[in-house]
Amino acid sequence: MHEMSLAEGVLQLIEDAAREQQFGKVTTVWLEIGQLSGVEVEAMSFCFDVVTRDSIADGARLEIIALPGTGWCMKCAMTVPMAEVFGECPQCGGHQMQVTGGTEMRVKELEVA
């Protein structure tokens, strides 16, 4: 389950920000997760709760912002929505697709006390 290591990375970012900006408690974390990132949202939520126990983010609410997958079709020269990395173009059915969005995962915002 790679979501555990991702959750640990998120906690490290939170702790680094707390040291830099001198805050003592995180109440909400907004996390952007792309549809093509390979991150399972339910597993990420579970792992976040486990990893943040007894930390600066203990009890923090995790808000997931889903980002759509997008790609550039080389055959029809259009940006199109993508549901899977190696999927076909929904416009022309071609498979010469280059992913342009939806693979990211990042901390967008923190609410602190």
Among 91, 110, 112, CA closest to 10: 110
Q: Is residue 48 part of a domain?
A: yes
Q: Is residue 59 part of a domain?
A: yes
Q: Is residue 77 part of a domain?
A: no
The strand pairing partners of 65, in sequence order, are: 32
Q: Is residue 107 part of a domain?
A: yes
Structural domain including 27 reads 2-68+102-112
Domain with residue 54: its CATH number is 3.30.2320.50
Which pairing describes strands 26-34 and 61-67: parallel, antiparallel, or unpaired?
parallel
Among 106, 13, 86, CA closest to 51: 13
Which pairing describes strands 69-73 and 78-82: parallel, antiparallel, or unpaired?
antiparallel
Which pLDDT value is given to residue 19? 95
pTM to 2 decimal places: 0.86
Which pLDDT value is given to residue 58? 96
Rounded-to-5 percentages of helix, strand, coil across the chain: 25, 35, 40
Q: Is residue 76 part of a domain?
A: no
Q: Is residue 88 part of a domain?
A: no
List, run by run, the mean pLDDT of 10-residue segments along the chain (113 residues). Answer: 91 96 96 96 96 96 97 94 91 92 96 93
